[in-house]
Structure 1
Amino acid sequence: MSLKNVNKPETNVVEIEFTSDKAAFDAACDKAYKKNVGSISVPGFRKGKAPKHIIEKMYGKGVFYDEALNEIVNPAFADAIKDQDFKMVSQPEFDVVSIDDDGVTFKAKFYVKPEVEITDYIGIPVTKTVREASDEDADNEISDTQKRNSRQVEVTDRAAQDGDIVVIDFDGYVDDKPFEGGKAEKYNLTLGSGQFIPGFEEQIVGKNIGDEFDVNVTFPAEYHAAELAGKPAVFKIKLHEIKFNELPALDDEFAKDVSEFDTFAEYKADVKAKIQDRYNKQADGEVEEQLINALIEKLKAEIPEPMYVAETENFVRDFDGRLRMQGLDLKTYFKYTGLDLDALRKQMRPQAERQVKTRLALEKIVELEGIKPTDEEIAAEYDRIAKAYNMELDKVKEMVDEAAIAEDVAVKKAVDLVKEKAVVTEKAYEEPKTEETKAEDAEAPKAE
């Protein structure tokens, strides 16, 4: 088995010719004969008893060739390229060039990684948004935790008010006729939630348990059910229960219940610190996003299509895996979204292209900077993967080749280098303007 010649007929494409000797080919033909002889009918012989040369004479010399060629082509290819530095990015396409007394000559065509250029990756200018966690931020998060730890209390001595949870029967009519979805019994509705159409919840405020009454509303003109849009409706209501969420006091006992801290002050300080950590990570993520965008702009490479196709398939497989972790699969996802596999691939293609370009840029920086991971860094990455997937360390090492781990660690170090050398301009975070603040800005007097 040997490599005969190498050609590069087009950019990022390699064609090679390689051989498999006659002994290997003959052995593969014998194996194919033994496997299939039992299913071949030859007059004058019982099934499974016809000699190989008789079958070849009757059905043609090449009767076992296809199976034999499939048997030897991959080992021969692997042997031919073992000393070559082909960075393959596609599966090879095989053809048979010749079969003769010396053996078999094959041709293989495959795509390889492109030549990459990247410059000016040191000192990339970026903007970092600095956001300080405030007491108000902490109070808002604590308020959410307080609501999650509330308990429902039945109301018996007053009328319904905004914020209460009411249990109602309702029966809706448009043009004196019931309509689909307009009826329910013992329905839980939080007043003021905006769950129902405008005007509905407000007319329950002030009512008492046992009251039966009408609610008169008009469906919005843009209502999703066209047959109801813009039409007046009457809902007949019966009020069964009134409840409200009783919030726990924000004190040391609350802190002990929801955290590892003994005092409310310690708990609040921890909440604020965690919010600050989130803000910092978000800011770092935005900086990294700017740097990646810049690297992609600076990248020069003719990227072969199979790289994009392969990465798109990786995205699809990862997405399928995440669905399965939630008890779903692609078939179910397609059913509920109306998408199909081609549409999903099209949706994921831009992300895949970005990932391919990012990886090529960073791998080139690894090469240019001579970045090499240490044994300790490789061990730490193995450990991180084992913990992330809750797997035994030895199992991870069996599944993931050390060279692949080393490459990933080197790429992460390249990211760190680009971040460390970036020229960062900090700016203070500004709250996004609401419609109300936009209106206030518009009405504010302008300086002459």
Structure 2
Amino acid sequence: MNVTVEKLDAKKVKLEVTLEAAKLTEAIQKSYKKNVKNLNVQGFRKGKAPLALIKQFYGVEVLFDDATDFLLNESYPKALAEADVKAIDYPQIDIKQMEEGKEFIYTAEVEVYPEFDLPEYKGLAVEKPVYVVTENEVDHELEHLVERNGRIESKGEGAVVEMDDIAVINFDGKVDGVQFEGGQGENFELTIGAKMFIGDFEDQLIGLKAGDKKVVKVTFPEDYQAEEVKGKDAEFDVEILDIKSKEYPEVDDEFASEVSEFETLEELKASIREGLTQDAENRGKNELNSNLIKALAEKAEIDVPNAMVETSIDRMVRDFEQRIQQQGISMDMYLQMTGQDKTTIRDMFRDNAMNVVKNDLLIEAIMEKEGITATEEELVAKAEEIAKMYGAQMEELKEMLLNSNKKELEMEVTTAKVFALLEEHAVLTEVEKSTAHNHGHDHEDHDHEGHDHE
């Protein structure tokens, strides 16, 4: 085999591969064995006609398609290795010569890892966010815990509907005396003040008791989605069946022992504070890493290969599809609801994908230059750390990570080492920030995450 390489640009090469004639003869033989059962020659049982007669009867070209596949599958990976080419996509193949008794020659154009100059990565000047947890935030989390442990109970005989109560109702809505779709319900639990129903429907129920009936009058908005009722007056016959309210527990030591492993309220608050502090540290760390890689990326000129960007977009679209499916929405439904198509969805992720790929290339270049690797002990420790988060199947998950997902685990460990190196040599300016009003929000993925390429 002879391989020559022509560099087309910073991210694409063309290989010309020449295989000796004997290799083509061998591939034609393999193609004959695969296809002879489907080729009929008069005077021979199906599958028994010799190669010479198949060539005479059909022409040797009938065997070329499979012979080409055999030759390419065997020679292309070897050609890449021989030329020391790191391909990142499927090649564009062009057969230059395929004639029995002669050399088999083809070219393969393929995108490769781009060549670029790694900028100076030591001494990056960036902000280091330091998130401070306040007592108000601890109390805020405690309030959420109280809300989650509230009990819904009937208010009992003689109680009246008040704001934030849950009124259990039957209702029958009519426009011009005629029932309309979606205007009826039985044993419906309506939270007063939640604005689930149009206009001041809920307000008109305030002050009613269980057993009371009332005609509630409302007007549908002009932009209401149902054509038959938009802009029209409606009357609802409403019957109050029951009135419920949410009762919240007293926040004391007894509450702490019921909702947690702790005996006292102070211990519970200390645990909440510890959790918030850990979250704040993680958030600050992620933002610092994002600032570091962004500062480095701004100094780098990389012609990012399209194949790597498309692979990154594939992953982002898959993740997006999974997220909306968890909310009960299929991708087809989402496209219909938003008036988008698959192309606009992909374009939505394109800039972020470009950043992810660029950052990954920089991280891997630093790994190579610094000789950064992951030891077996570090991989085991990382697997244990991840497995701990899932509890019960900890040992099984750890084994799976160390075997099936070892490459991803290695990337996680080595990437962390790169960021530690960048931080160690960076010029950091600490900026104190508050974590208030950010609980329960998913922080966006940072650009350095996602390693899409192999």
The question of a shared fold, defined as TM-score above 0.5 by the shorter chain, is answered with yes
Segment of structure 1 superposing worse, 251-260 or 320-329: 320-329
State how far apart, in whole Å, the 1-side matches of 2:10 and 2:106 are. Answer: 22
**Could you tell me which of 428, 432, 447 is aligned with 1:423?**
428
Q: Secondary structure at the match of 1:185?
A: strand
Question: Partners of 1:271 and 1:302 in 2: how far apart?
Answer: 47
Partner of 1:140: 140
Shift in Å, 1:51: 1.6
Offset of 1:66 from its aligned partner? 1.6
Q: Is the CA contact (8 Å cut-off) linking 1:125 and 1:425 kept in structure 2?
A: no
Map 1:191-340 to 2 at 5 A: 191-220=192-221, 223-225=224-226, 231-319=232-320, 330=331, 339-340=340-341
Structure 1: distance between partners of 2:163 and 2:388: 48
1:328 & 1:313 partners in 2: Cα distance?
A: 19
1:47-446 equivalence runs, <5 A: 47-99=46-98, 101=101, 103-154=103-154, 155-220=156-221, 223-225=224-226, 231-319=232-320, 330=331, 339-381=340-382, 391=396, 395-400=400-405, 406-420=410-424, 421-429=426-434
The CA deviation string for residues 197-246 of structure 1, in whole angstroms up to 9 with x for no partner, is: 34222221111111111223344566555665555443321111111122
Q: Which moved more, 1:406-415 or 1:209-218?
A: 406-415
Alpha-carbon spacing, 1:400–1:341, altered in 2? closer, same or farther (3 Å): same
Partner of 1:40: 39
* Structure-2 separation of matches of 1:319 and 1:225: 30
User: Partners in 1 of 2:108 and 2:427 — Cα distance?
Assistant: 44
**Aligned-partner Cα distance in 1 for 2:193–2:332:** 39
Q: 3-state SS of the aligned residue for 1:43?
A: coil
Separation in structure 1 between the aligned mates of residue 2 and residue 398 of structure 2, nearest angstrom? 39
C-alpha contact (below 8 Å) 1:116/1:360 kept by paired residues: no
Cα displacement (A) at 1:104: 2.0
Residue 269 (structure 1) shift: 1.8
Amino acid at match of 1:345: R
Aligned-partner residue type, residue 92 of structure 2:
E
Distance 1:397 1:431 in 2: 38
The structural deviation recorded for 1:255 is: 1.2
**Are the aligned partners of 2:401 and 2:409 in contact in 1 as well (CA < 8 Å)?**
no
Output one character per residue of 1:169-224: Cα deviation in whole Å (capped at 9) or x when no partner.
22334455544333222210112223233422222111111111122334456655
- Once the two structures are TM-superposed, the CA of residue 145 in structure 1 deviates from its matched residue by 1.8
Q: Tell me: CA distance 1:243–1:325, structure 2 relative to 1, closer, same or farther (3 Å).
A: closer
The 1:337/1:411 distance shift into structure 2, 3 A limit, reads: same
The one-character-per-residue Cα deviations of 1:375-423 (angstroms, maximum 9, x if unpaired) are: 4334434555667796555554553565x75455333322222234242
**What is the SS of the residue equivalent to 1:292?**
helix
Partners of 1:230 and 1:126 in 2: CA distance: 56
Could you say what the CA RMSD is over the residues aligned between the two structures, in angstroms?
3.2
Q: After superposing the two structures, state which structure 1 stretch, 406-415 or 252-261, moved more.
A: 406-415
Work out whether residues 156 and 242 of structure 1, in 8 Å CA contact, stay in contact via their aligned partners in 2: no
Is residue 166–residue 189 contact of structure 1 (8 Å, CA) maintained in 2? yes
Residue by residue over 1:102-160, the C-alpha shift from the partner in whole angstroms, topping out at 9 and shown as x without a partner, is: 64223222111111234353343433454433333222222222222222222213212
Counterpart AA for 1:79 = K
8 Å CA contact 2:402–2:409 kept in 1: the answer is no
1:304 CA drift (Å)? 2.1
Overall identity of the aligned pairs, in %: 34
SS in structure 2 of the partner of residue 76 of structure 1: helix
Bigger drift between 147-156 and 202-211 goes to 147-156
Would the alpha carbon gap of residues 247 and 431 (structure 1) be closer, same or farther in structure 2, given more than 3 Å must change? closer
Q: Give the structure-2-normalised TM-score.
A: 0.83
* 8 Å Cα contact 1:37/1:49 also seen in 2: yes
CA distances 1:292-316 after superposition (whole Å, capped 9, x unpaired): 3323322211122222122222333
Shift of 1:360: 1.4
**1:440 corresponding residue in structure 2:** none
C-alpha distance 189-394 of structure 1, shift in aligned 2 (>3 A): closer
Specify the SS of the correspondent of 1:82.
helix
Q: Distance in 2 between matches of 1:131 and 1:394?
A: 35
Give, in whole Å, the separation in 1 of the partners of 2:206 and 2:326.
Answer: 43
Do the aligned residues in 1 keep the contact of 2:5 with 2:83 (CA within 8 Å)? no
Native 8 Å contact 1:378 1:409 kept in 2: yes
CA contact (8 A) 1:19 1:76 kept: no
1:425 is paired with a residue of what secondary structure?
A: strand
Instruction: Say whether the 8 Å CA contact 2:130–2:430 is kept in structure 1.
Output: no
SS in 1 for 2:132: coil
1:4 aligns to what? 3
Q: Does the Cα contact within 8 Å between 1:119 and 1:298 map onto a contact in 2?
A: yes
Amino acid in the other structure paired with 1:61: V
User: CA, structure 1 residues 162+9, in 2 after alignment: closer, same or farther (shift >3 Å)?
Assistant: closer
What 5-or-longer segments of structure 1 have no aligned partner? 433-448
CA shift in 2, pair 1:217/1:272, >3 Å: farther
Question: Hey, what does 2:13 align to over in structure 1?
Answer: 14
